[in-house]
A and B are shown apart, each in its own frame.
Chain A
Amino acid sequence: MLQYFLKRVLYAIPIALGVSLVCFALVHVAPGDPLASVLPPDASLEMQQLMRTIYGFDRPLPVQFALWLWRAFVGDLGVSIATGRPVAGEVWHAFGNTFMLAALAAAFGFLVGGLLGLLAGYYRGGWIDRTASTLSIAGISVPHYWLGMVMAIVFSVQLNWLPATGAGPGGSAAWSWDWEHVRFLILPALTMSAIPLGIVARSMRALVGDILSQEFVEALRAKGLSERGIFAHILKNAAPTALAVMGLQLGYLLGGSILIETVFAWPGTGFLLGNAILQRDLPLLQGTILVLAMFFVILNLLVDVAQTWLDPRIKRA
């Protein structure tokens, strides 16, 4: 197990390096001088010269990459053009908000989707199956930013039950777990849960179908095990794959929150990205994407390891 773990970590290192190379390249594929991304357009010539040396834009690209990577590694992601504040701090703060949102959405989506998928796979062809299939195809097909708008229309504009935008009184700095704040979290979290709900239900249904068609289920029935006991066996067999699907989905939620956070003005990483795009704040864009992508790489690693730990047969050469 330890050997597998080390091997998997070793495999993740080049991926992480590649991911950071892509992030580094973002500023350089952007049209115009990369310097333009760290300076206001009316900067003086001396200022431009100075910044060029400070940022190392006068050095060869590989050296620049190494320097940038080292700085990112020690937690220096540069300075936001728009606010003048360090990017790392902004991202860190926003990441907490996105994590809160994604975790709630994941908890709801996985629970409902998982249950639906389990029942749909078990009672294949019944009404639960049809409901689950419809819900899951709708969940994976719906443009979630539109779903967000519809939710806001129904629950904020028409029914006036829940607020449509923001993170509650005092903004994101004054967050606490009381109803005054939590009610701002409900609509974005519900909207966000649509996709994982659909995907988890879909894969659970297929998974349960596969397991039920295996011979050992027949054997369990033949020896007189109760249906509840068989259900437990199905759960146990489905767990490793289900875990992998869910882990990946959590990563997608964290990385793909931009559209929903824009709709609901939720102050997370997606909102930060949206602002960075509007103001062409490239250091902020680069830093946020680097952090999110790295988190996704690490999450993938953890999921793989956890899956192998649960089911050692998966261990690959």
Chain B
Amino acid sequence: MTEIPGTIAGATIEGPAGPARGYWSNVLRRLRRDRVAVVCIVILALILLAAIFAPLVAPGDPFRTSMLRRLRPIGTPGFPLGTDELGRDMLTRLVFGGRLSLFTGIVPVINAFVIGTFLGVFAGFSGGRTNMAIMRTIDVFYAFPSVLLAIAISGALGAGIFNSIVSLTIVFVPPIARVAESVTTQVRNLDFVDAARASGAGAFTIIRVHILGNVLGPVFVYATGLVSVSMILASGLSFLGLGTKPPEAEWGLMLNTLRTAIYAQPVVAALPGAMIFTVSICFNLFSDGLRSAMDVKL
């Protein structure tokens, strides 16, 4: 039988016993030993903090244009990362760009985490026809390649941050619901659920204590892995003109408007993409670390 992580995995005792540790403090300990994961968390935290406190951190105004100093190279005095095609300071815009890019990348995954877990647990716990109805509907959305579904919905709804978040949420609900449903179905038939039911626990209590306790862990790990895809897709939608609108600073949009500058200032033009890549790879490595620290098999 495969071990289901979460509360029943409990404390795994390693070596001669000190005081017994809880599951979560074990996870944290293992995560802290994982050097790659720690470095990734530090980088992500720095980028996130810089984005949150952008007005304090950034040296200039992200919207101040100048026809005189367009497309300056990296290292120009006063503009350490150069300027964009409208003469705006790149460093400032990269710092401010993190706000929208991280927001439009992370929020859909949080939405999908809540909705998908609810749908999956509900379907898995109900079983029978309810399960069939929910899971077959989810299969339909699963039958689209994710990029195509995001573009289809965004393209139909039109450009805008809200629409981009809606479409990406719809893209990520099906995979999360599938994971939640499969774990719920496994847990539902275990003895301790029968025991809880026999001792008089209602459906709500069983779900809250026994099902969610086992489902949330794996689903959370799975969701952290989706953030990277979501960042790439959200910025990709902006890149296509479907997300953020100019003159807003957003990495995907900046990459798009700088596309014509690859002949004049190739390095400056590639910077926003390098930011997306950095965040995306850090989330992936962190998710990998979390997966092995929590000992989740998906």
- Contacts from A to B (Cβ < 8 Å): 14-15, 18-19, 21-23, 26-27, 29-31, 137-138, 140-147, 149-150, 152-153, 157-158, 251-252, 254-256, 258-259, 262-263, 273-274, 276-278, 280, 282, 285, 289, 292-293, 296-297, 300
**Which B residues touch A15, using CB under 8 A?**
139-140, 143
Tell me whether B187 is interfacial, beta carbon within 8 Å. Answer: no
Pick the contact of B284 from A140, A146, A256, A276 — CB < 8 Å? A140
The answer on a CB contact under 8 Å between B266 and A22 is no
Of the candidate stretches B21-29, B52-60, B77-85, B267-275, the one touching chain A is: B267-275
Alpha-carbon distance between A141 and B233 when the two chains are bound, in angstroms = 11
Given contacts A19-B144, A280-B158, list 4 more A-B pairs with CB under 8 A.
A29-B157, A262-B239, A285-B155, A296-B143
With CB as the reference atom, state the residue of chain A lying closest to B282: A141
Could you jot down 27 A-B contacts, CB within 8 Å? A22-B140, A29-B153, A30-B157, A141-B228, A142-B280, A143-B277, A146-B270, A146-B272, A146-B274, A149-B255, A149-B269, A150-B270, A152-B262, A153-B266, A157-B263, A258-B151, A259-B147, A262-B240, A273-B151, A277-B155, A277-B240, A278-B241, A282-B156, A289-B148, A289-B152, A293-B148, A296-B143
List of B residues within 8 angstroms of A140 by Cβ: 228, 284
Asked if B232 contacts A251 (CB within 8 A), the reply is no
Q: Give the shortest distance, in Å, between B137 (CB) and chain A (any CB).
A: 7
Contact at B277–A141, with CB atoms within 8 Å?
Answer: yes
Determine if B259 is an interface residue (Cβ-Cβ < 8 Å): yes
Tell me, rounded to whole Å, the shortest Cβ–Cβ distance linking A159 to chain B: 12
Question: Which residues of B (132-150) have their CB < 8 Å from a CB of A?
Answer: 136-137, 139-141, 143-148
Taking CB atoms, residues of chain B closer than 8 Å to A300 are 143
What's the minimum C-beta distance from B38 to chain A, rounded to whole angstroms? 16
A19-B144, A22-B140 are known contacts. Are A146 and B255 too (CB-CB below 8 A)? yes
| 3 closest cross-chain pairs (CB), A and B | A146-B273, A255-B145, A18-B140
CB distance B259 to A149 under 8 Å? Answer: yes
Docked pose: A97 CA to B280 CA in angstroms: 30
The answer, yes or no, to whether B242 is at the interface (CB within 8 Å) is: yes
CB-CB under 8 A from B152, the residues of chain A are: 22-23, 26, 285, 289
Bits for B264-296, please: 1 = Cβ < 8 Å to A, else 0. 001001101110110011011100100000000
User: Who on chain A is nearest to B262 by CB?
Assistant: A153
Contacts of A29 in B (CB 8 A): 153, 156-157
User: Closest A-chain residue to B142, C-beta based?
Assistant: A15
Q: A141-B228, A149-B270, A285-B156 are in contact. Are A258 and B240 (CB under 8 A)?
A: yes
**How many angstroms from the CA of A83 to the CA of B290 in the assembled complex?**
51
Expressed in whole angstroms, the minimum distance between the Cβ of A5 and any Cβ of chain B is: 19
Q: Does B236 touch A at the CB level, under 8 Å? A: yes
Within the complex, the shortest CB–CB distance from A283 to chain B, in Å, comes to 12
Contact in complex: A277, B145 (CB < 8 Å): no
Measured CA separation A256–B152 after assembly (Å): 11
Q: What is the interface residue range for chain B against chain A?
A: 35 or more
Question: Closest CB of chain B to A145's CB: distance in Å?
Answer: 5
Distance (Å) between the CB of B139 and the closest chain A CB? 6
In the complex, what residues of B have CB within 8 A of residue A150's CB? 270, 273
Asked whether B169 is an interface residue with its Cβ less than 8 Å from the other chain, the reply is: no
B104 beta carbon closer than 8 Å to chain A: no
On whether the beta carbons of B273 and A143 are closer than 8 Å, the reply is yes
* CB-defined contacts of A280 to chain B, threshold 8 Å: 158
Asked if residues B235 and A255 are in contact (CB atoms below 8 Å), the reply is no
Q: In the complex, what distance in Å separates the CA atom of A18 from the CA atom of B155?
A: 19
Task: Please measure, in the bound complex, the distance between the C-alpha atom of A65 and the C-alpha atom of B140, giving whole angstroms.
Answer: 17
Name A19's closest neighbour in chain B (CB-CB).
Answer: B143
Known contacts being A150-B270, A153-B266, A259-B236, is A137 close to B148, with CB within 8 Å? no
Contacts A255-B147, A292-B148 known; A143 to B269 CB distance under 8 Å? no
In the bound complex, residues from chain B placing their C-beta under 8 Å from that of A14 are: 136
* Residue among B141, B148, B266 making CB contact with A255, cutoff 8 Å: B148
Q: Contact at B140–A141, with CB atoms within 8 Å?
A: no
B262 in contact with A157 (CB, 8 Å): yes
Do B240 and A252 touch across chains, with their CB atoms under 8 A apart? no
Taking a contact as CB atoms closer than 8 A, the residue among A147, A153, A292 that contacts B269 in the complex is: A153
- Do B143 and A297 have beta carbons less than 8 Å apart? yes
- Find chain B residues with CB under 8 A from A152 CB: 262
In Å, the complex CA distance between A144 and B231 comes to 12
Choice from A146, A255, A263 contacting B144 with Cβ under 8 Å: A255
